[in-house]
Amino acid sequence: MADRRYEVLFLCTGNSARSILAEALLNHWGRGRFRAHSAGSQPTGKVNPGALRILAQMRIPAGEPHSKSWQEFAGAVAPQLDFVFTVCDSAAAEACPVWPGQPLSAHWGVADPAAVRGDAAESSLAFRRAFHELEHRIRIFASLPIDSLDRVKLQRQLDEIGAARAEDAPERGVTES
């Protein structure tokens, strides 16, 4: 089980910014140990350009992100999920589908950078903050000894990660690879 790849789903209402960032970050920092996906309860149908900009600025491969419904991950042909994380308060409060495989879940709420109304600098700062907060949590998650933790201890760790803030980690201008 040590070489197992874990399936992870990040949920947000619109699946246009935060969940897209989280998907790209875990696919990068997970180094093949995780396969991340993202979806939304009410997908917008498009990825926010601010999310793509910050990923490019921080040199994190975006892959081919697209906004999609969480129903894609609840059907018989969906990947069997190991973890499900909500990254917005709205999605955390909604009744989620039944996920195949009884994945562990946690709420890792992050302020919505797409909701910031202001000039380009304010918008850019909001996306940078969301990026760093998600990156901090994801790097902690990717470093967990998942195979050696029982479900109760692992759930506790996931909940603690959700409380972690980006200011606990140093901000970098460019993400190391």
What residues act catalytically? 12, 88, 96
Residue 5 DSSP class = P
d(CA 38, CA 84): 9
Check if the beta carbon of residue 86 is closer than 8 Å to that of residue 112: no
Q: What is the DSSP string of 48-85?
A: -HHHHHHHHHTT----S----BGGGGTSTTS---SEEE
DSSP element (H, E) containing 89: helix 89-93
Residues 175, 177: Cα–Cα separation, whole Å: 6
Cβ-proximal residues to 36 (8 Å cutoff; 6+ apart), any chain: 8, 9, 10, 22, 23, 24, 25, 26, 27, 30
